[in-house]
Chains A and B, each alone.
Chain A
Amino acid sequence: MIVRVVLPPHLRTLAHVSGEVKLEVAGRVTQRSVLDALEARYPMLHGTIRDQATQQRRAFLRIFACEEDVSHEAPDAPLPQAIATGAEPLLIVGAMAGG
C-alpha cells in the first residue's frame, strides 16, 4: 500500500522533504506500521514522533486521519481505508503553542 503522510514543518525540514511523504507500507496499515515505515525511510525522524525509550507518541503531537483524531487509538488498530489506499493523507500535527 502507498500511504500519504503530512509531516509538521519542522520535521519536513529535518527530513529534507517538501510536501507530502509517500510511503510503501507492508501489511496492515496502522499507526505503528506507518510510523515504522516513515522512520525506516527517514532515520533522522527516529525519536521525534515517538519517544525512543517508550515508543509512546510525544505529548505535543497528534495524529489525524479522515478528520478524526486517532492519537489515542491503539497503535496496531487499523487506520481508515481511505488512509490505507492513499485516498486521504495521515496528518501528524504539532500542538499549536507559541514560544
Chain B
Amino acid sequence: MSRVRVLVGTRKGAFILTADGTRERWDVSGPHFGGWEIYHLKGSPADPNRLYGSQSSSWFGQVIQRSSDGGKTWETVGNKFLYDGPTGTHQWYDGTPHPWEFARVWHLEPSPSDPDMVYAGVEDAALFRTTDGGHTWQELPGLRTHESGRLWQPGAGGMCLHTILLDPAQPGRIFIAISAAGVFRTDDGGKTWRPMNRGLRSEQIPNPTAEVGHCVHRIAGHRSRPGVLFMQKHWDVMRSDDAGESWREVSGNLPTDFGFPIDVHAHEPETIYVVPIKSDSEHYPPDGKLRVYRSRTGGNEWEALTKGLPQRDCYVNVLRDAMSIDALDPCGVYFGTTGGQVYASPDAGNTWRPIVEHLPAVVSVEVQTLP
C-alpha cells in the first residue's frame, strides 16, 4: 500500500508526519532543528528519500539541511548564496533605491529527474540552483538583473521569490513569482526572463495594470496541462490558459478573493483549491469560519468545504506555501495554519480533520506520495 509523508516547516522547527494510504493514523516526528524557522522542506521526485530543508534564524542566518533517508538523519550542506556580479538596487518600501541583500531561502524546488539539482528562491528576490546536492549554489542572474529589477519592491514579508514551477513539458521553461514584482518566465533555462503579468490588476500600485509590481502570492499548475496556471494574488484569483501570457480573474462567488495558497487536484486539472482570508489587514478567515473553497470548473464557481474544519471562533491564517496535495486516488489535500494545526482531507476536500494540532505556526506543507 502507498504511504504519504508530510513535511511541515514551522516558525520553530520542522516536523514530519507519516501515514499509510488510508491516511487515518499519523506518526509525528520532530521537532527537527528546534527553535529555527523552517521556511520550506521538499523532497526530490527522483529520489523521495532525498529531502532538502531551508533553516534560518535572525540570529544565525541561513542553513541548508539535506537528508538521504527520508528525514531520519540530516546533514548541513552549502549555505553560501552570493549574488552573481554587482547587486544593483531595487526599490525600498519608501521608494528609494536599496541594494539587494540576501536574507533567507523561501522555497526549494528539486528537479524532477536529478536528486542533486535543486532551485532555491530567496529574499531579496533571486533564483539560485545547485547541481551538486546543495554543496554549492549558483545564482541564475538573468532574473535579478532584468531591466525591471530596479522597480521591484518588497511586500510586507520581504522581497521574496516564493514560487518556482518547472514546466513538465518544456525543458528550460520555468515560472517564478516574486512579492511584490509578479510572475516571470524563462524559456531558456534561466538566462533570460519576461514578466508575465498581463491581465493582473492591482489597485495598490500607481499603475494598476503595470508590467511589474503585482503582489502575487502563489501560482500552481497541473502536470497534464502545462500551459494552464492558477494564481492567488494579494487580491483576486486568476488563471492563465496561455502559459502566463495573459491572465483573467476567476474569483467568481468566493466570499473574499484575498488569500495565500492555491493548489490543483492531483487527477482533475480543472479542480482547484484556495483558502479565502478576510483581508490583507486582518489575515484571518471571514466570520471566524475556516473554509477551503474548491472549484471543479477551473475557477468562477466555488463551493465551501467545511466538514471537519472549525466553523466558529477561528482566526488563523494559511500561508502561501502551506498547502499540498498527494497523488493517491482520491487525492489527499493538506494545509497548515498559523495556529499550528495541520488539516488533512483524504477525499479531495470533502471531509477534513486535524492530523496534528499544537505545532508552532506553520509556514510550509509539502506532501510526498511514497510507494
- Judging by beta carbons under 8 Å apart, are B80 and A52 in contact? yes
- Judging by beta carbons under 8 Å apart, are A58 and B76 in contact? no
- Judging by beta carbons under 8 Å apart, are B60 and A46 in contact? no
- Judging by beta carbons under 8 Å apart, are A10 and B60 in contact? yes
- Judging by beta carbons under 8 Å apart, are A61 and B59 in contact? yes
* Chain A interface residue count, Cβ-Cβ cutoff 8 angstroms: 18
Given A44-B63, A47-B62, A53-B102: A10 and B57 interface contact (C-beta under 8 Å): yes
Which residues of chain B come closer than 8 Å to A53, judged between CB atoms? 82-83, 102
Q: For residues 76 through 100 of chain B, which have their beta carbon under 8 Å from a beta carbon of chain A? A: 76, 79-83
Which residues of chain A come closer than 8 Å to B82, judged between CB atoms? 52-53
**Interface SS, B side:** loop
Residues of B at the A interface (CB closer than 8 Å) are 35-36, 57-63, 76, 79-83, 102
Contact of A11 among B58, B60, B81, B102 (CB under 8 A): B60
Which residues of chain B come closer than 8 Å to A94, judged between CB atoms? 59-60
Name A51's closest neighbour in chain B (CB-CB). B61
Report the 3 A-B pairs with minimum CB-CB distance, sorted nearest first: A44-B76, A48-B60, A60-B59
- Judging by beta carbons under 8 Å apart, are A47 and B79 in contact? yes
Which residues of chain B come closer than 8 Å to A95, judged between CB atoms? 59
Given A14-B76, A46-B80: A60 and B36 interface contact (C-beta under 8 Å): no
Name A54's closest neighbour in chain B (CB-CB). B101
Pairs A–B under 8 Å by Cβ, sample size 30: A8-B59, A10-B35, A10-B36, A10-B57, A10-B59, A11-B60, A14-B63, A14-B76, A43-B76, A44-B76, A46-B79, A46-B80, A47-B62, A47-B63, A47-B79, A49-B60, A51-B61, A52-B61, A52-B80, A52-B81, A52-B82, A52-B102, A53-B82, A53-B102, A58-B59, A58-B60, A60-B58, A61-B60, A94-B59, A95-B59
Which residues of chain B come closer than 8 Å to A49, judged between CB atoms? 60
Give Cα A46–Cα B61 distance, bound, in whole angstroms: 10
